[in-house]
Structure 1
Amino acid sequence: MSGTLSRNFSPQNLRHVLRHGISTAGFCCVIAVGLAISGRGAWAPQFVYSLSIGLISWLVVDIGRLLLAGRTSRPWPQGWRGVVLVIVGIVVGFLGGNVIGDAWTGKPLLEFLSFSRDKLASTVLITVVAGVVICYFYYSLGKSKYLEGEIALAQRDATDARLKLLETQLEPHMLFNTLANLRVLIATDPPRAVAMLDRLNSYLRVTLSGSRALAHPLAAEFQRLGDYLELMSVRMGPRLAYRLELPDELREVPVPPLLLQPLVENAIRHGLEPKVEGGEIAVGARRDGRRLVLEVRDTGVGIAIDPHDSTPRPDSGFGLSQVRERLATAYGEQDGLQLAAGPAGGTCVTINLPLSA
């Protein structure tokens, strides 16, 4: 119970209550001006009555809704409880406000009871209409913000589910390729097959022991990428060389898991393996203003260029298409991946991601 009350009376909710009180005072000022113009008395007494009624009703309704909210995240009690709360708030505000106003003006206590029927009816009507309008305004405003929060939460959950689906697609893709290569090595080079199996065991242990978070530090991405490249170097031998360049200040930057591995797979399959002597893969990270720039460069056979178009054609295989979809899901529909021919041959894939700070 105490935990629920602490959450309902959180600093954020109390700030909302305070804002409601300030705006309620503004409404009361406008009502007092209207009553004074209509000839119901001087502005100052009307303001005292209006402000007293409004602030008491505000306290009863706003504090009451937080007490009645319970464990739900809705900003207003549902059903009959909300209606009763408004009625109680208006009644208590009307009686208490008149007591304060009578005391301030020196009139008899609850003087409104001696009003004529028409004046009493108009006084009550003004109080009820003003109370209902103000409560409905705050209810609509709170409901709108609540629904916006629910929509944002649903969109985040949908994005989370989509990223999880992409990750489940990427990991089996890598495993199938590795197991196929391992099958060949078992028959042709058993010692290297054993070494490759040890590397695979290490890679799987690191992967499966990690959490299924939607993001992890860039250092973890490079560590898993290092395990993968070591695994590939067992199969390719001296035909594969690699460098991993990660500055210390970027180690804790969060990125989606398995973001770089498909690019490295593509570099090996389409760049280095078709080349007799193999080549080198370099993976680097750097900061460019408020952007994180990730690069995967290889010295392989390069990419095909359309003679009528200077723009390189992106590979349509699994790796690049999945990375593009992963980036779009995590960061929105933006072209954060570029594919280009390397200056000295080979291919360079660049990813640009926003930095939070």
Structure 2
Amino acid sequence: MSKKRIYWACQVGSWTALMFYELWVFSLEDEFTWEFFYLAIANILVCILLTHFYRLVVRERNWVAQPLYKLVPRVIFSGLLLGLIMTLMNFPIDIHTLKEVVRSQPYIFFSLWLSWSKSMFMWVLSYTIYHYVESMRDTEIEKILLKTSVKETEAKILRSQLNPHFVFNALNSIRALVSEDPSKAQQSVTQLSNILRNSLLADRRKTVELREELKTVEDYLALEKVRYEDRLMADFHIDPKTLYLQVPPMMLQTLVENAIKHGVQKAVSGGFVQVTSFLDGNYVHIHIRNTGTLVKKDNDLEKHKEASGFGLANTERRLQLIYGDESARFRIFQESEDVVRAEVILPTQTEGVFRNTAAKPIVKSQS
């Protein structure tokens, strides 16, 4: 049943029940006449009309959105006003039918007003409380939806980040290869195309399989290898059991890019980047080791964000948005004098069937 039908059923049912109850009580004390019956019908119609008018005012002026200190006086005043209208309409008839009572109780008008106000106030209060609670619930739902929408938008922006300088550098490297090594240039164009496609698709998926992310990282390192040549060495130590686990898209690429930009690039004789993954209980560990030195040699990530660029803040914020504050962890620290290690620990949540492959780790090198 729709809310509109429920409303009218409550209107007609409640006022009919009240008026006929009072008519029955009155008939027990005095002789029943059809005049009282018609009066009861008239009161039902007037009560429905008045309370429906109250409903229109509440909806038109959006009373339920008002704070309680403003809403409560309006509800009380409405109950008294509607009770007064019903009293004034019925008082001439009450004087005629209750002559003895009027003589013995000179303040009968106020008693009748209080009686009608009580009935009206019960209806007004019930209607207002229901819609006030419903309005509060809808407001909370809207806040949750808005918060979720903002987080999702922020997550999409973070997922789709790709350093434009890398694209420019890659294009310059490919341009140099066109005349020197055309086949290598074609391969590099394909690798760059794969990276750009994955970057564009990143805002459509919250997570991807690790194997897809590793393919993007391999293409990225292959392009950087064209630029740095022998100054860059890269290798992978991947547990096959982690290949089909879910990770945030473009996350590893961001960390590897950060490792090259702030580590290998600054090393006079070049350096290395190593990507490792393994399972530990219900968590997958991903480590990125690279040549480099942190500005401040401590484990406080906040102190390295400015020095290490947008990538670290991007990674930390994305993990918070996807997994919450406790499920996933990220840190970066100085492993040794000239080696930096970034660690990402994620819960082993999968989308689809978990595929168990050979237990022997996958080791790849790009030298």
In the TM superposition, what whole-angstrom CA distance separates every residue of 1:183-207 from its partner, at most 9, and x where no partner exists?
A: 3444655543333223223333455
Q: Does 1:303 align with 2:294?
A: yes
Match for 2:207: what amino acid? H
Q: Given that residues 192 and 235 in structure 1 are in contact (C-alpha distance below 8 angstroms), is that contact kept between their aligned partners in structure 2?
A: no
Q: For residues 246 and 97 of structure 1, what CA distance do their matches in structure 2 show?
A: 76
Q: For residues 339 and 211 of structure 1, what CA distance do their matches in structure 2 show?
A: 24
- Which residue does the alignment assign to 1:197? 189
Which residue of 225, 242, 250 maps to 2:235? 242
**Identity fraction in percent:** 24
Q: For residues 253 and 13 of structure 2, what CA distance do their matches in structure 1 show?
A: 66
How far does residue 265 in structure 1 lie from its aligned partner after superposition? 0.8
How far does residue 162 in structure 1 lie from its aligned partner after superposition? 2.4
Match for 1:213: what amino acid? R
Q: For residues 127 and 178 of structure 1, what CA distance do their matches in structure 2 show?
A: 79
How far does residue 111 in structure 1 lie from its aligned partner after superposition? 1.2
- Which residue does the alignment assign to 1:137? 129
**Secondary structure in 2 aligned to 1:136?**
helix
Going from structure 1 to structure 2, the CA distance change for 1:189 and 1:247 (only over 3 Å counts) comes to closer
In the TM superposition, what whole-angstrom CA distance separates every residue of 1:297-352 from its partner, at most 9, and x where no partner exists?
A: 23x2443445xx67585233232243344445556678943211225852111234
**Secondary structure in 2 aligned to 1:349?**
strand
Q: For residues 296 and 112 of structure 2, what CA distance do their matches in structure 1 show?
A: 87
- What is the RMSD computed on CA atoms of the aligned residues? 4.1
Which residue of 202, 208, 213 maps to 2:204? 213
Q: Does 1:114 align with 2:12?
A: no
Q: Given that residues 181 and 235 in structure 1 are in contact (C-alpha distance below 8 angstroms), is that contact kept between their aligned partners in structure 2?
A: yes
TM-score (norm: length of structure 1): 0.57
Match for 1:339: what amino acid? I
- Which residue does the alignment assign to 2:331? 338
Q: Does 1:351 align with 2:347?
A: no
**Secondary structure in 1 aligned to 2:203?**
coil
- Which residue does the alignment assign to 2:138? 146
Q: Does 1:182 align with 2:174?
A: yes
Higher relative contact order, chain-length normalized (CA < 8 Å, sep 6+) = 2
Q: For residues 123 and 217 of structure 1, what CA distance do their matches in structure 2 show?
A: 68
Give unmatched runs, 5+ long, in structure 1.
1-62, 69-84, 103-108
Which residue of 274, 290, 313 maps to 1:281? 274
Which residue of 8, 16, 29 maps to 1:95? 16
TM-score (norm: length of structure 2): 0.56
Larger Rg belongs to = 2
Q: For residues 113 and 90 of structure 1, what CA distance do their matches in structure 2 show?
A: 23
How far does residue 264 in structure 1 lie from its aligned partner after superposition? 0.3
Q: For residues 215 and 329 of structure 1, what CA distance do their matches in structure 2 show?
A: 10
Q: For residues 123 and 356 of structure 1, what CA distance do their matches in structure 2 show?
A: 64
The ranges of structure 1 where at least 4 consecutive aligned residues each deviate by more than 6 angstroms after the TM superposition are: 118-123, 332-335, 354-357
- Which residue does the alignment assign to 1:75? none
Going from structure 1 to structure 2, the CA distance change for 1:241 and 1:318 (only over 3 Å counts) comes to same
Q: Does 1:267 align with 2:259?
A: yes
How far does residue 92 in structure 1 lie from its aligned partner after superposition? 1.1
> What does 1:247-258 align with in structure 2 at a 5 Å threshold?
248=241, 251-253=244-246, 255-258=247-250
**Secondary structure in 1 aligned to 2:172?**
helix
Going from structure 1 to structure 2, the CA distance change for 1:137 and 1:341 (only over 3 Å counts) comes to same
> What does 1:20-35 align with in structure 2 at a 5 Å threshold?
none
Aligned residues: 264
Q: For residues 98 and 353 of structure 1, what CA distance do their matches in structure 2 show?
A: 67
